Amino acid sequence: MGREIHYEVFKRVGAKGGWTMHDVRNDRDSAIAMAQELMAGEKATGVKVVKETYNDDTGDFLTLKIFEDGHNQMKVTPAQEDAPHALPCFKPEDLYSYHARQTMSRLLTDFLSRNKITITELIHRADMLEKLEATGTLYQHAIQKVAVAQAANTTVPAQQIVKSLNELTTQAFNRVYRDQRKGLFPDPAADQFGTLAGKLAAQGDGPYIFNGALARHLKDAKGWDDKVLMLITVMESAPKDEAPRKLVLSSVDAILAEILNGSAALHELMGPAENLGEALNQLVTLFLGKMPEDGKAGGGLAALTHHFAADDLPEARTAVANRVVAEFKSNKRLCPDSMVEELKTLRSMANRIVMGVGKYLSHEDLIAAFTLRSKRLVAQEALGTHIGEAGPEEKIERILFVEDNIIGTENKRQLSSYIMPVLNSAAFENHFQNPKVPLVQRLQKLAQLQSRVRRSGFIDVTREEIAAKMDALALAMEARGKLFESIEARTPNPVEKAQTLLKLASGGILTEGQLSNKARELILGYMSKPGFLTGYMAGQSKDGAAPDTEKAMADLMETLGKAGITAETGLKSIAA
């Protein structure tokens, strides 16, 4: 359904030392900071941070080095640099580390999905390990994939690494088989896990035994929703003492995060969706700790939502946040059949997801995700389909609608490049010079388009260029239709001429620029005619009563302001 991202910190010790994994982080900044600290503390002669992205739809790895520093940087070929890095594991316990579990989850996604288990359950259940071993090809292919990745960055032959990994995994499997036979993993009821955690909290292998008990407990789950509910039921029995409580909460949270990282589990939990937009909306709703809008949620999903609302389960909630960001960055359209619905859905989700920005979801990551999705929406293929065979006026409106719903300066610059060809086309000019449509109506529509352009996020130069082009066309339309000449000819006195032009200038009929300036000059000219003020006041009287001079002047100044004429300029121009 999306992509998982983490950042690996490597260090090198000595002049000819090879790269070894130091740590793995989910946050880019903290990973780089850790690498810089290693160098500053002289704990390494070289460091680098690698961004590793896994697409669980395709099973492909993508590795990108984002930071490197060192006293003796070593050159590697692009092929080596691009290969996914594996965490070196030296003993069976290493396979239970965070990074090892993440790697195994990626390599065994299909197996885990088919058997409806998480990687933590797999590595604690003897029956599932036997089943994995029995697959033969799948098991060996996973080992080979890790070996090839590691061999690309070392001088050790891949075959030797395969042999070492086989020995290591065999030891790990045998450990679980042996512990299972010995009855090391207890089988408590849901409300007894708190007591079990109290006994195990101080033991070195306590988490291993506790997770083994959890894995046995979850064997009877009828589906992912049932499994989530069982886990939360266990969590709610956590004792109050710090150490055992931490053991319960961290174990449950880790398995829930693994469930929420899986596409198959999410699909079953959230239910079917018409498209990615609907599916993402459901994920955003879950992340915010809100119940589904249709009110339909299984017991597990409802309990999970309740705990998210209470700000529990940080690892699981982070997994949902990462999934949301990854989906926003993906190539898949939210609403493939309609650009309008795509943009409406995107804006709606943006307005909702920002409420969740904080410790689980960074503002920077969210902006980056929306910017990337916006970039894809302004590409030639997507936008060309959207504006399609629409008329010239409709094309501009559709482009401006897109502009109003995307972010990113470069994306808006790209989008603006589609407007000028439309404005410069003969079809656009012919559309607005069509005499079958009343001139005032055509001028008003062009003024509305210009107003939207002037409010847009296009860069200043482009925005002014588009607005000027529209104004030039409006000026030509007025000249051809002789609008101002007809007002001069048909209107009997300066007061009515000025008021007619003021209605046009203040009513959004005229484009801003040369046309509005021409109208303002005419208005000021009529106002300077002798008798204008007397005639204006006479027109304000009702039933022969003397007009309220102060109010009449205030109304005139307000109207002048709407037309772009300052009160000072207006007062200077009025002739008694």
Per-residue tokens: 294: 């249709």
Asked whether 235 and 210 are in contact (CB, 8 A), the reply is: no
- The residue type found at 299 is G
| pLDDT given at position 213 | 94
pTM confidence score = 0.72
For residue 408, is it left (φ>0), alpha (ψ between -120 and 50) or beta?
A: left
- Which of 153, 175, 197 finishes a domain? 175
CA–CA gap between residue 267 and residue 271 (Å, rounded): 6
Give the pLDDT score at 81.
42
Helices (H), 183-291: 193-200, 206-217, 224-235, 242-261, 263-270, 276-287
- Residue 166 domain flag: yes
Are both 505 and 468 inside the same structural domain?
no
Residues recorded for the chain: 576
Q: Do 26 and 149 have their domain in common?
A: yes
The three-class DSSP label of residue 518 is helix
Structure confidence at residue 293 (pLDDT) = 72
Domain limit, last residue, from 175, 199, 229: 175
Q: Does 40 share its domain with 168?
A: yes
Final residue of a domain: which of 481, 516, 538?
Answer: 481
pLDDT of residue 203: 87
Per-residue pLDDT at 124: 93
In a domain, 180, yes or no: no
Q: Quick one: 348 and 231 in the same domain?
A: no
Question: 68 with 94: CB under 8 angstroms?
Answer: no
User: Distance (Å, rounded) from C-alpha 183 to C-alpha 172?
Assistant: 17
Residue ranges of alpha helices (H) inside 92-187 are 98-107, 109-115, 119-122, 126-135, 137-151, 158-182
**406 and 496 share a domain?**
no
Say if residue 333 is in the same domain as residue 415.
Answer: no
Q: How many angstroms separate the CA atoms of 349 and 332, rounded?
A: 16
Q: What tokens appear for 356 in the block?
A: 């969740």
The DSSP call for residue 531 is: T
Would residue 135 count as lying in a domain? yes
Domain check: are 436 and 413 in the same one? yes
Residue 21 and residue 84 in one domain: yes
Res 207: pLDDT: 92
Query: In the numeric block, which tokens belong to residue 74?
Result: 């070593």
| CB-CB neighbours of 100 under 10 Å | 21
342 within some domain: yes
Strand bridging mode 20-25 / 3-12 = antiparallel
- How many structural domains is the chain composed of? 5
Distance separating alpha carbons of residues 332 and 516, to the nearest angstrom = 46
Residue 266 lies in a domain: no
Q: Do the beta carbons of residue 397 and residue 388 sit within 8 Å?
A: no
Specify whether the CB–CB gap between 68 and 38 falls below 8 A.
Answer: no
Do 40 and 48 touch, CB atoms closer than 8 A? no
Residues 29 and 164 in one domain: yes
Per-residue tens of pLDDT for the chain, all 576 residues: 445 677 788 888 876 667 777 877 877 788 888 988 888 887 788 888 887 776 555 555 566 677 888 765 444 444 444 333 444 566 777 788 888 888 888 889 899 999 999 999 999 999 999 888 887 788 888 888 888 877 777 777 878 888 888 888 888 889 999 999 999 999 999 999 999 999 998 888 899 999 999 999 999 899 999 999 999 999 998 999 999 999 999 999 999 999 998 888 888 888 888 899 999 999 999 999 988 876 677 788 899 999 999 999 999 999 999 999 988 888 889 998 889 999 999 999 888 888 888 888 888 989 999 999 999 899 888 888 888 888 999 999 999 999 999 999 999 999 999 999 999 999 999 999 999 999 999 999 999 999 999 999 999 999 999 999 999 999 999 999 999 999 999 988 999 999 999 999 999 999 999 999 999 999 999 999 998 888 888 887 776 677 788 888 898 999 999 999 998 988 888 876
25 and 113 together in one domain: yes
In a domain, 95, yes or no: yes
Residues 370 and 424 in one domain: no
Q: Is 404 within the bounds of a domain?
A: yes
Q: Order the strands of the 3-12 sheet from edge to edge.
A: 20-25, 3-12, 46-55, 60-70
Same-domain status, 147 and 24: yes
Could you give the 3-state DSSP secondary structure of residue 384? helix
Range of the domain at 54: 3-175
Q: Which of 240, 243, 227 is nearest to 190 (CA)?
A: 227
